Amino acid sequence: MAPTTRQPAEHPDPPAAVPPPPARGKGRPRSAAADLAILDATREALAELGWGGLTMGDVAQRAGVAKTTLYRRWPSKSELVVDAIASLFDQLECADHGSLQADIEAVVARFAELLSLPETQAALLALFAEGTRDLHLRRRIRERIVQPQKVLVQLGLANAQARGEMDPELDPAGAEEEIDIIFDTIAGTVEHRLLVSGEPVTPDWVRRFATLLLNPFPGLLH
């Protein structure tokens, strides 16, 4: 979560599902402006310098803030970047486009759009890489970045069911694994195409990919 809301205690880790009581402490309250400035500076620096080039000192300077202020809020570079990037994923949504194919295409296109931003390009894989080792970070990433996407898949399937495109008896419990597999496929494929293969995601590619998912393998006899 963006640490904008004051946390009297330490680092703002806990999900804070319940917004903590304002907890008006005694001292000087944390500057909300600083948080925004820092996150903006982080995104800017990411787009400019990439993950490797990003330094805490530089972010602090861009944000017009002391390094101490950064560390008071985020315990490490990775956590800072999670929050800086995560907000971009808040805009994901899944309108009903009338067919499962159309919905999938929309989701894929929107996700590809996000992954084409310089700051996301620079940060996403690096974050995932760090998450490979740091369990705590991995949890943060899942909450803030992965989960919002997964929800879209669930929503899309629910919509399809509602439209009568799908067998209405699948979802409730047993489809859990099916959702996972579809989600990993969509997210992983788009990431791999854009960030590893380095090829663009065109509308045509989106259509073909969605078709591959929904239909029998093209050219396959029987």
Partner DNA sequence: TGATAAACGAGACGGTACGTCAGGTCTTAAT
Partner DNA sequence: ATTAAGACCTGACGTACCGTCTCGTTTATCA
List of residues contacting a second copy (CB under 8 A): 50-52, 100, 121-122, 125-126, 128-133, 138, 141-142, 146, 160, 164-167, 170, 175, 177-178, 180-185, 187-193, 195-199, 205, 208-209, 212-222
Q: Which amino acid is at 202?
A: T
Does 47 bind DNA (CB under 7 A)? Our answer is: no
Give the DSSP H or E segment for 139.
Answer: helix 135-141
CA distance 199 to 193: 6
How far apart are CB 68 and DNA at their closest, in Å?
4
69 binds DNA (CB under 7 A): yes
Cβ 102 to a second copy shortest distance, Å: 14
Structure tokens at 130: 């760090």
Q: Which of 39, 46, 65, 137 binds DNA (CB under 7 A)?
A: 65
Question: Which helix (DSSP H) or strand (DSSP E) does residue 163 occupy?
Answer: helix 147-163
Nearer to DNA, 58 or 165 (CB): 58
Among 20, 55, 90, 178, indicate the residue that binds DNA (CB under 7 A).
Answer: 55
CA-to-CA separations, 91 to 4, 95, 207, in angstroms, rounded: 18, 12, 22
What residue 146 binds from a second copy, DNA, none (CB within 5 to 8 A, per partner kind)?
a second copy
Is the backbone of residue 5 left (phi > 0), alpha (psi -120 to 50) or beta? beta
- Spatial separation of the C-alpha atoms in residues 121 and 52, rounded to whole Å: 12
> Does position 21 bind DNA by CB under 7 A?
no
> Is the Cβ of residue 35 or residue 51 nearer to a second copy in the bound state?
51
- Only one of the segments 68-76, 106-114, 165-173, 177-185 lies at the binding site for DNA (rule: CB under 7 A); that segment is 68-76
**Biggest CA pair distance of the chain:** 74
Q: Is 59 left (phi over 0), alpha (psi -120 to 50) or beta?
A: alpha
CB of 158 to DNA, least distance (A): 41
Q: Which of 40, 44, 50, 77 binds DNA (CB under 7 A)?
A: 77
